[in-house]
Amino acid sequence: MATVTIKDVQTILTQPEGSRLIIVKIVTSQPGLYGLGCATFTQRFHAVHAAIEKHLKPFLLGRDVSLIEEIWQMAMVNGYWRNGPVLNNAISGADQALWDIKGKQADMPLYQLLGGKCREAAAVYGHADGRDEHEVEDSARKYMAQGYRYIRIQMGGYGGQAEKLVKPEGAQPGAYFDPKAYMRDMLRMMEHVRTKIGDEIELLHDIHERLQTIDAVQFAKDVERFKLFFLEDPLAPEDLEWFHHIRQQCSTPIAMGELFNSPREWQPLIAEKLIDFLRMHVSQMGGVTPARNVAAFANMYGIRTAWHGPGDTSPVGHAANLHLDLWAPNFGIQEWCRFSERVYEIFPGTPEVRNGYMYPNDKPGLGIDVNEELAAKYPCTDEVIGWTQTRLPDGSPTRP
């Protein structure tokens, strides 16, 4: 059999909705055979685009597409410095595309290459939000009417309402929030929602690393009575040692990882059983190859997967998540952002959700394609992002 090699590496940039999406297309020496991968880092898409076109593409051209593991390992060290979001996303796009190609060559969905399905579909959760607890309840009930049994509840976004803050004179503009008010408001909201909708619906909440470490410990204790399915990102990657304090003081299940880039961030949390769900962004960590490895590693410690799945994971990335979900024996839950019909038109084969479950289409590889002509009608726009310019009441910059 003739060796199939990488003939071209193309980058597709599109913004059909709010997020700037980056798709890597690997074209092979076999006519008609190509693969797609997600490299979406929406806040720094130009940097990822340059990394793909100027660094990764020259490295990949002419290589044997069958050598996925070898290519991944060499790509990670080829730049000498490693484990950063820009290069990780670039490598992830290529890695997912190569897995897509391998599935097409084998005429099998990716989950078959990983070892076959452990389940027929992946349970998902949606995002319920509102300006007050009553609106959050109404939003949650709309999800329940659609068959969702897992619902993330937020109120006023991640940091809560900020209209009543007293700021210093001359305070800089930004996305202000009051951590203490957030804690009080969220506890009131959770109590209301849990009381109104009962115990049969699983509730989730995302702190988004916005609390001081000791406040995060207190908050995790305070929400214990609401029996959350998980509390997400109570701490920042810089504060991993504080997970010991959370674990010692409460039984609230903890999900962590969407900001992780390096194995040194997730390895100790898994090995010491300090978290319950892995939340890594699959393109941020480098693709299907490391996600497969860390899922198998976490399975030995009874820790489940809950891959990051917001609107700034492209449909190609969601397809990759789904194949990992179907295969992983330690699957927990999948975040789902609910794409518009426009996105389904641009990306035929985008996973579909019915009655709270995400289903594959059983096509070879990732099972998804891209209409490049239609994608080009929605070019990416530049902006100085506002929501990550987060500030405390006195104007101090803080983590978003």
- Residues with a known catalytic role: 158, 208
Name the strand (E) or helix (H) holding 202. Answer: strand 202-206
Distance, first Cα to last Cα, the chain: 52
Q: How many CB atoms lie within 10 A of CB 6?
A: 24
Q: How far apart are CA 145 and CA 242, in angstroms?
A: 38
* Sign of the CA dihedral with 6 first, then 10, 15, and 16 last: negative
258/388 Cα distance (integer angstroms): 15
- CA–CA separation, 223 vs 216, rounded Å? 11
CA nearest 334: which of 157, 40, 121, 144? 121
3-state secondary structure of 108: coil
User: 222 CB contacts (<8 Å, ≥6 apart)?
Assistant: 183, 187
Q: What are the C-alpha distances in Å from 45 to residues 205, 254, 382?
A: 28, 30, 9
- Which residue from 181, 186, 122 is spatially nearest to 148, judged by alpha carbons? 122
3-class state of residue 49 by DSSP: helix
3-state secondary structure of 109: strand
From the list 174, 297, 310, 132, the residue with the least C-alpha distance to 233 is 310
Q: Is the distance from CB of 24 to CB of 316 less than 8 angstroms?
A: no
**DSSP tag of 389:** S
Residue linked to tokens 């913004």: 15
Q: CA-to-CA distance for 51 and 31, rounded, in angstroms?
A: 26
With contact defined as beta carbons under 8 Å apart, do 86 and 44 qualify? yes
Q: How far is CA 179 from the centre of its chain?
A: 24
* Tokens 């940097």, located at residue: 47
What is the helix (H) or strand (E) element at residue 140, kind and residue range?
helix 133-145
